[in-house]
Amino acid sequence: RYDDQGNALQEDNTVQQRSEALTHILKKYGYIDVVTPVHVSHLCQKILHKTLAPSISPPIHEIRNYYGDEIAFYFAWMGHYTTWLFFPAIVGLLVYCFRIYRGDTIENDEITPLYGLLA
């Protein structure tokens, strides 16, 4: 559980034990499958705005603190992957523009196969 500023609240051990016992009973009788926490909407919006902002990488530490290690690793990998694909994309765009400028087609252009081998 979180307070208004998004800080984690400390729960009483007896409340947590009762909650775990109730969850166990509800799972045993098939009333529930999975228990997941309710999202804090203002924290989700904050992470979303930082992720969609034009920057080098997404806010990995905030994603890790809110969603967990696996989701943060995915976003870190996609940020790294996107960064490394940026330069081949620019070279490919230059090759395409050069081909269009010369009036070549894909069949008779000598630069396009070379780019395909290098990229």
Higher pLDDT residue, 40 or 4? 40
pLDDT digit string, tens, across residues 4-21: 565 665 555 565 666 677
**Average pLDDT rounded to a whole number, residues 101-110:** 81
The pLDDT of residue 74 is above 90? yes
The pLDDT of residue 60 is above 60? yes
Please name the residue ranges forming H helices in 1-119.
13-28, 41-52, 60-67, 69-102, 111-118
The CA distance from 43 to 6, in Å, is 7
pLDDT digit string, tens, across residues 90-100: 988 888 888 88
Say which DSSP state 107 is in: T
